[in-house]
Amino acid sequence: MRVLVTGGAGFLGKALAQRLLQRGDEIIIFDTSLSGLDNLHSAFGHRLEVVAGSITDMAALALAFKAHRPDAVVHCAAVVGMLASPMTAMRVNVEGSVNVLDAMRLFETRRCIHISSEETYGNFQAATIDEEHPQRPVTAYGVSKLAVEHLSRTYNVLHGLEVIHLRTSWVYGAGLLRHRVPKNLIDAALSGQPLHIPHGGDSAIDHTHIDDFVSGVALALDHADHPYDAYHIASGTSLTLHEMVDAIKGIVPGADISVGPGPYRYLGELEICRKGALDISRANRVFGYVPRLSFAAGAREYVDRSISGRCVPESRHAATA
């Protein structure tokens, strides 16, 4: 299969591109930034094409589709984060996604896997929610991801495109450069620096290991007949930040890390909405998705990779929780 991965130089897109290359697919990465792709080039250069361009540039997208004629798209490119400015979120995430859908229509690429987000729900109304939970996003980022879901349905009705939305939770693991739990906690633990996050201990959040996320995307990409257009790809469980700190201390004894009570504040500023676990039974039933790594196992894997040098902690940033 020839798959065009928008945002393929980012955390999720690159891990996904690597998995698809490993199994023999041809990959076209379309991204504004092409840094950090050297290892993919040297391992899979003959089956990897990289195109520098923005999804907001319809001409650049059309040229990439015309040159490479992908069989499918995995759409990861986005401005990510709860503090994204409304204008940027709309221009890049919404307008850019419409360009991707138009390029698919023009060049007859039928299937797209869109990486959507639990942020489309806003405040969770229960400890565990399924895909039918009301979608009332409270951030511009969440609104932009929900708009893409709705707009894709228009392209399905009018043009027969099949866009599958995989709503995921907070993905963690090697390769994530943004400052976020558990990365900042694990990096502090490994570098021996004290880190106290003054808030957030009571926030329960679903954390998905990058390997499980990639497996879920690959399964959804391969599945022939989707009875739904939205699925959760997550861990299916949630843990509070208090529990997260305890788990990391169990892996790195003596770690001087702690978290205060109350809800988590994103980058210390924006109080996150009420979260919880994402029910993954639909993805399990339809295409056999089963996450393999509990948080403790995933955190241990991250620690082991860091210690073996394959993922170097950015200790100088550890205190910026």
- Distance in Å, CB of 277 to ligand NAD, minimum: 15
Tell me whether residue 33 or residue 261 sits nearer to ligand NAD (CB atom): 33
* Residue nearest ligand NAD, Cβ-based: 10
Grouping H, G, I as helix, E, B as strand and the rest as coil, residue 7 is coil
- Read off the amino acid at residue 199: H
Residue 224 CB contacts under 8 Å (≥ 6 apart), including other chains: none
- Distance in Å, CB of 7 to ligand NAD, minimum: 3
Grouping H, G, I as helix, E, B as strand and the rest as coil, residue 205 is strand
- Distance in Å, CB of 194 to ligand NAD, minimum: 26
Residues making contact with ligand NAD (CB under 6 A): 6-7, 9-13, 31-33, 54-56, 76-80, 92, 96, 115, 117, 145, 168, 170-171
Provide the 10 A C-beta neighbour count for residue 296: 16
Tell me whether residue 30 or residue 255 sits nearer to ligand NAD (CB atom): 30
Tell me whether residue 182 or residue 201 sits nearer to ligand NAD (CB atom): 182
- Distance in Å, CB of 55 to ligand NAD, minimum: 4
Tell me whether residue 20 or residue 255 sits nearer to ligand NAD (CB atom): 20
Tell me whether residue 197 or residue 255 sits nearer to ligand NAD (CB atom): 197
Whole-angstrom distance, CA of residue 183 vs CA of residue 172: 7
- Distance in Å, CB of 122 to ligand NAD, minimum: 14
Contacts of the segment 189-194: beta carbons below 8 A, 24+ positions apart: 189/248, 189/249, 189/251, 189/252, 189/255, 189/256, 189/257, 189/303, 190/252, 190/303, 190/306, 190/307, 190/313, 190/315, 191/313, 191/315, 191/318, 192/256, 193/256, 193/315, 193/318, 193/319, 194/256, 194/257
172 phi/psi in degrees, rounded to 5: -135, 165
Which stretch of DSSP H or E encloses residue 21? helix 11-22
Phi-psi region of 173 (alpha: psi -120 to 50; beta: other; left: phi over 0): left
Whole-angstrom distance, CA of residue 193 vs CA of residue 204: 25
Tell me whether residue 5 or residue 189 sits nearer to ligand NAD (CB atom): 5
- Distance in Å, CB of 44 to ligand NAD, minimum: 18
- Distance in Å, CB of 258 to ligand NAD, minimum: 24
Tell me whether residue 180 or residue 282 sits nearer to ligand NAD (CB atom): 180
- Answer whether 121's CB lies under 8 Å from 133's CB: yes
Q: Which two tokens stand for residue 255?
A: 């770690």
Tell me whether residue 77 or residue 197 sits nearer to ligand NAD (CB atom): 77
- Distance in Å, CB of 114 to ligand NAD, minimum: 8
Grouping H, G, I as helix, E, B as strand and the rest as coil, residue 171 is strand
Residue 238 CB contacts under 8 Å (≥ 6 apart), including other chains: 127, 128, 204, 205, 206, 207, 275, 276, 277
